[in-house]
Amino acid sequence: AEEALRQAQKMEAIGQLTGGVAHDFNNLLTVILGGLDTIRRQVSTLPGSPTTERIERSIRMASHGAERAATLTARLLAFARRQPLEPKPIDAGRLVTNLADLLQRTLGETIALETVTGGGLWRAQADPGELENALVNLAVNARDAMPGGGRLTIETGNAHLDESYVAQVAEPVAAGQYVLIAVSDTGTGMCAATLAQVFEPFFTTKDVGKGTGLGLSQVYGFVRQSGGHIRIYSEVGEGTSVKIYLPRLLNEGLVPESETAAAAAVTH
């Protein structure tokens, strides 16, 4: 599981890098192809001569090369593009319970995993696979922050973000009902300077080969794309708590009255 995790993180890093380079390169190729096209049209108005022919042949070759390069970057982009999110109704409590074994194996024997999932939990609307990835990422970070052992607590609950809370949050968050997944460790914690940078891609305080600095930026991207909110509380020497708020699935179980009546009529 350890090696698979490392491999997945490596692929993620390669994917992000490849995608970024391919995207920028593609923009440059568009400029080159556009320029060549303009030159070709200008040259075609010139009187025919051996020189004109040589220029036209050069333009054809350059265009051909640039077009092949564009095909190549298109393939690279297809490789690097991450699967689009597939939001579904999620029972976060059950998802955490089902993931507990894998998380415990990630944490190792010296870290105790505690899951606190009460009843009456609203359902969230998000991609369950990505939420699992996020929790594994958070567990890896917690493990690294607790080299001498400790405790990881994952708690789920219903949460209301009110107007006064969302007003003091940096990024736009809608006030309303959310499903909270709080992941708290008893590790080293972070100083304010580190905490301010944790969502930056490639920001890491870990040794080369140990951290990619993509874990939390990935988690952040998933939460934001899901219409949710993430906040990290950390105290040096005390521990870290990552709070993920995913939007509540609205209108669940609210069956229109006429349908209820119809269903009742069928049953009886």
Is position 154 an interface residue for ligand ADP (rule: CB under 6 A)? no
Rounding to the nearest 10 degrees, give the CA dihedral for residues 95, 100, 103, 104.
180
Length of the chain: 268
Q: Which of 87, 128, 187, 247 binds ligand ADP (CB under 6 A)?
A: 187
Stretch 35-74 residues interacting with ligand ADP (CB under 6 A): none
Rounding to the nearest 10 degrees, give the CA dihedral for residues 132, 85, 162, 199.
70
Shortest Å, Cβ 211 to ligand ADP: 3
236-265 footprint of ligand ADP as x/- string (CB under 6 A) = ----x-------------------------
Shortest Å, Cβ 155 to ligand ADP: 15
Is position 194 an interface residue for ligand ADP (rule: CB under 6 A)? yes
Q: Residue 178 pairs with which residues in a beta bridge?
A: 159, 247
- Kindly determine how many residues on this chain lie close enough to bind ligand ADP according to the rule CB under 6 A: 22
Closer residue to ligand ADP in complex, CB, 93/215: 215
Q: Which stretch binds ligand ADP (CB under 6 A): 61-69, 71-79, 203-211, 246-254?
A: 203-211
Q: Could you tell me which of 112, 80, 117 has the C-alpha nearest to residue 98?
A: 117
Is position 159 an interface residue for ligand ADP (rule: CB under 6 A)? no
112-151 footprint of ligand ADP as x/- string (CB under 6 A) = -----------------------------xx--x------
Is position 223 an interface residue for ligand ADP (rule: CB under 6 A)? no
Q: Which of 157, 213, 221, 227 binds ligand ADP (CB under 6 A)?
A: 213
Calpha distance 142→106 (Å, rounded) = 10
Is position 26 an interface residue for ligand ADP (rule: CB under 6 A)? no
* C-alpha 163: how far from chain center: 26
Q: What angle do CA 4, 87, 176 make, to 5 degrees?
A: 120
Calpha distance 259→242 (Å, rounded) = 41
Residue 244 CB neighbour total at 10 angstroms: 28
Instruction: Give, as one character, the DSSP assignment of residue 248.
Output: B
Is position 185 an interface residue for ligand ADP (rule: CB under 6 A)? yes
Q: Which of 139, 190, 223, 230 binds ligand ADP (CB under 6 A)?
A: 190
Whether 66 and 33 have beta carbons less than 8 Å apart is answered as yes
Q: What is the residue whose two structure tokens read 């036209």?
A: 56
Instruction: Give, as one character, the DSSP assignment of residue 49.
Output: -
Whether 164 and 148 have beta carbons less than 8 Å apart is answered as no
Q: Which of 64, 129, 206, 255 binds ligand ADP (CB under 6 A)?
A: 206
- What residue ranges bind ligand ADP (CB under 6 A)? 141-142, 145, 185, 187-190, 194, 198, 203-206, 211-217, 240
